[in-house]
Structures are given as C-alpha cells and as structure tokens.
Amino acid sequence: MTQLYLRPIALAESPQSEEGEAIRLAGGLAYASRFALIERDGGKVVSRRRFSARELEAALPTLPEEVSQQWENLKRTHAPLQLGERTVRLDQPQVVGILNVTPDSFSDGGQFMDDSEVANAHAAAMLESGAAVIDVGGESTRPGAAAVWEGDELKRVIPAIERLAASGAAVSIDSRRQAVMEAALTAGARMINDVSALRHDPRSLEFAAAAGVPVVLMHAPGSGEDLHAEGSFRDVVLDVFDWLAAQRDAAMAAGIAREKIVLDPGIGFGKGVAENLALINALPLFHALGQPLMLGASRKRTIGALSNEAPAHKRLGGSVSLAFKAMEAGVQLLRVHDVHDTVQARDVWRGLRDAALTDFSQLA
C-alpha cells in the first residue's frame, strides 16, 4: 500500500525572511518554507519530491487528497487546552513540569516520594518558575522497571494531586491504569498522560472519552507490561507517524474529541540513540497529524550517550538543547524536569522570534 508524508524540511525565523513564502506551523511561532513529499510502498521509501510553499500550493489539485489534508494539518491552529479552570494556550511552547512520586524513576526516583514537604516545595518551585502544568506519576517506565501494583500507585499519586489541585495548579496524571486515572481526576487532575496511548488498560479508552479531559497519547512499541519491547522499525520516523495516526483515529472512534488529543513520539521508549535523534530531527513532520505535540526528552539516555555517559542529574545542558530544538520545530508542550532553565530558554527563544517578526530590514 502506498503512503504519503508531507515533511517540512526548511524552517524560517519569520515569514518575511522568505518574502511571505512560508507557512506558520500549527498556529505557533515556527515557520516552514520547503517541504518533502515522501512516498512509501510496502514500508520502503520509493520517492521523495521537494517543493517550496508556493509550488506545493500549485501542485495540490494534482495530488492525492491525503496530501491536501496533511497540508491543512500543518497549518492548523490549535485551540487552548482547558484543564479545569486553567487555560493552556498552544500558540507558543508551554512547559510541563515532572513530579515523580516513585522510588525508581531513572532521574529523580525516591526524591519526592516519602517527604510531602519536599515534594510540595519542588512542585511550588516549578509553578513559580513558569510551569503551565504539573505531570504527576507514580510508576517508573524506564527500561527494566518492575510493574507497580495499582494500589501502590494510587497511594503515591493521589495525595500529591490533591495538594496541587488545592493550590490551583493545572495537574496531569501520568498513568496507564484506568482506576488511577479515575481517582486522579476525582482528586483534581485535569489531563491524562498515558505512555501506552490508552492501550494498556482495556477500560481506559472508554473512560477517557467519558471524562472529556485532554489526553496525551505517546508512542511505545510494547503492547504488554514492557513498553520498550518489540521496538523494531523499518523507518522509525514514518513508522511512529503511522502508529500515532492509528492511535489518534482509535481515540476519536472511541468518542474522544479531536481537540482534546495530544500526541507524543515517545523518545527513549523502545528506541536507540540513532532512532531518537531521527525522531527529534523530524519533529516538524508530526504536525501533519493535525494534533498538538508533546516532547519528553528531558535527561534521557540519548543525552548521556552523546555526553560521555553523563549521569541523569548532569544532563541539563542536553535537556535544554533538545527543548530548544523542539521549540524551533513548533512543539507545544515540553515535558521536563528542569523547569526554571527550560522556561528561561523558552523566553529567550520567544524574544528571538518576536525580534525576527518585527525585523523588516531584509525587505528594504
């Protein structure tokens, strides 16, 4: 079966730098001026044609409908996410702070689990630094981590969510179990972030649709307890694109409103360093799915592999570098451990974008 993919391959700092021949990606502050139309047959790429924005617009009447749909998706402006009384705008990158209440997470396991005062102070610091959402998780999903009993997960996350919700914070629950999702929403969480894309628990799709809250569907190749299993790719970028498209469609078929679906390519889940880097370089392509994007690359193994095996707590520079790359690609939600530094990088990036948008010297 032939499949087509419309990938932005040249980004611009502003539309006027391309004399207006650039599109605004996903309603944000990233702009694309050149595009590759990739054709795949039987899993193998068989052709690649390049277009400017103007050339592609002219060619659309002669191309299959799916290309026109991807073109419209690339330009789609996304409505804000509504998390209870909190509104998270998607016209610029937003930072999602990670709060792990687990004993064994790869970066900060145990640090915020047994002392609620420490956890409270850390969450407050993330909010003060500019986190739009706090993502609370009670199960480590690092490679080789043991499965967590549902009751233990509930005991870990619910007190933290209740405290955060009482403070007025926008809270997301990072879980793949329906009972935990339900209890978390009752406690005040207003978004579901499921690393299994609502596949692990057969009750979760129906529950998420009925709950009506935003959901994050992340790519992970494993279908059972080990989400890192079965990671074999013909072309990791296009394979993940197809997989996310299928999960988006399954969520919509189950009754989840399209505007409530966020997609995440799943950096580090069943993927090696080269595959992770390929996905990060291809982030602009994923806007062709027509959904807001989340990226969770903070402190991950790929950074250590590229920095003389630096341990997780010494991967700040690499984490901010990948976050900046995601901003350049128009990613709306950056899930990170180091909120202050990422927000500062975001604000500097935003300043550069604003300056580029108001610089008309190239037209003089």
Structure-model confidence comparison of residues 339 and 362, the more confident one: 339
Domain residue extents for the chain: 2-74, 81-353
**pLDDT of res. 222:** 83
pLDDT(328) > 80: yes
260 is catalytic: no
8 A C-beta contact, residue 37 and residue 6: yes
**pLDDT of res. 113:** 47
What value does the mean pLDDT of the chain take? Answer: 93
**pLDDT of res. 102:** 82
Q: Which entry of 300, 315, 346, 353 is annotated as an active-site residue?
A: 300
Task: Tell me the torsion sign for CA atoms 14, 278, 332, 160.
Answer: negative
CATH annotation of 81-353: 3.20.20.20
Q: pLDDT band at 362, cuts 50/70/90?
A: low
Tell me the C-alpha distance between 341 and 119, whole Å.
Answer: 19
- Candidates 269, 268, 293, 296; CA nearest to 283 is 293
Listed in sequence order, the residues at least 6 apart from 261 whose beta carbon sits closer than 8 Å to its beta carbon are 214, 215, 217, 248, 251, 252, 291
Radius of gyration of the chain (CA): 20
Q: Which entry of 156, 315, 335, 353 is annotated as an active-site residue?
A: 335
Query: What does the pLDDT average to over 206-217?
Result: 98
155 is catalytic: no
Q: Which two tokens stand for residue 52?
A: 């400017």
**pLDDT of res. 223:** 76
Tell me the per-residue pLDDT of 156-183, one tens digit each, with 9 for 90 and over.
999 999 999 999 999 999 999 999 999 9
**pLDDT of res. 172:** 98
* Burial class for 149, CB neighbours closer than 10 Å (0-12, 13-18, 19+): exposed
First to last CA, the chain: 50
Tell me the per-residue pLDDT of 29-59, one tens digit each, with 9 for 90 and over.
999 999 999 999 999 999 999 999 999 999 9
Tell me the per-residue pLDDT of 83-138, one tens digit each, with 9 for 90 and over.
999 999 999 999 999 999 887 554 554 454 455 778 888 999 999 999 999 999 99
